[in-house]
Every structure is written in C-alpha cells, then in structure tokens.
C-alpha cells in the first residue's frame, strides 16, 4: 500500500539520516511512500509531529521554517488519515504530547494483522 506525502518534510527527514519509508513514485510536490515497514512509518510520523508545532516558529522567531512546519503538519495529517482508513484501526488521541505513540501502536497492530 502507498501513501502520498509532501516532499519537503520527507527530504528533511532523510537528510537527518533517520529511518524512512521507501519512495514508490513521485510527482512535482509529493512522494508516494511504502507503508509496509510500520516502524519506519511510525518514526516519520513521530518526527513530523514534533516539527509540526507552529508555536516553535513564534518562539524562535524564524519564519523561514514555516514551509517545513507546514509540510510536517501535512505529513501528520496524511499518516493519520491512512491509519484511520485502515480497517479496524482508529486514532483515539491526537495529542501532540504522545509523540505518535498511539498511532505507532495502531500501525504496529495493522502490520501484525496483515501477517
């Protein structure tokens, strides 16, 4: 199964040498990534949640990062939508303080169900 996410945050995630799902195909602004490696998808989600905090821009005063923050937020939404549309799995808590723990558990359950 594949998932469409924005390129900008994905490239930043890869640049920081973090575990990242494989790219299946790309368009001008998006990558379609593989969703089979749940651990890598959960890592991408957790990282995107951290970067999607718009208050960080206000605190740091660095408006040049707004594109990265927006891309991270779009990545979070895409992964959450994927998890919600997966049969039998829903996200109960979208709290940012959970750092993706709930969705990580849901995605791991999904992977186990597919075996």
Report pLDDT digits (tens) over 53-99: 877 666 666 666 788 889 999 999 999 998 888 764 444 344 444 44
- CA-based angle 103:21:81, to the nearest 5? 40
Report pLDDT digits (tens) over 41-57: 989 999 999 888 877 66
Whether 53 contacts 46, CB under 8 Å: no
| Number of domains comprising the chain | 1
pLDDT at 38: 83
pLDDT at 110: 58
pLDDT band at 33 (very low <50, low <70, confident <90, very high): very high
pLDDT at 65: 77
* C-alpha pair distances (Å), 37 with each of 59, 63, 68, 93, 95: 35, 34, 24, 22, 24
* C-alpha pair distances (Å), 30 with each of 5, 27, 67, 70, 95: 5, 5, 14, 14, 26
> What mean pLDDT do residues 92-112 have?
51
Whether 32 contacts 8, CB under 8 Å: no
For residue 42, what are the domain limits? Answer: 2-114
């Amino acid at each position: 199964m594949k998932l469409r996410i924005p390129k900008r945050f994905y490239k930043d995630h890869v640049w920081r040498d973090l575990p990242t799902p494989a790219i299946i195909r790309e368009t001008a602004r998006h990558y379609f990534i593989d969703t089979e490696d749940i651990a890598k998808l959960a890592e991408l989600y957790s990282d995107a949640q951290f970067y999607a905090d718009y208050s960080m821009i206000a605190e740091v005063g660095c408006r040049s990062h707004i594109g990265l923050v927006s891309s991270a937020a779009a990545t979070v939404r895409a992964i959450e939508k994927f998890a919600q549309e997966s049969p039998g799995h829903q996200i109960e808590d979208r709290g940012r303080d959970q750092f993706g723990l709930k969705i990580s558990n849901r995605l791991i359950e999904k992977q186990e169900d597919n075996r």
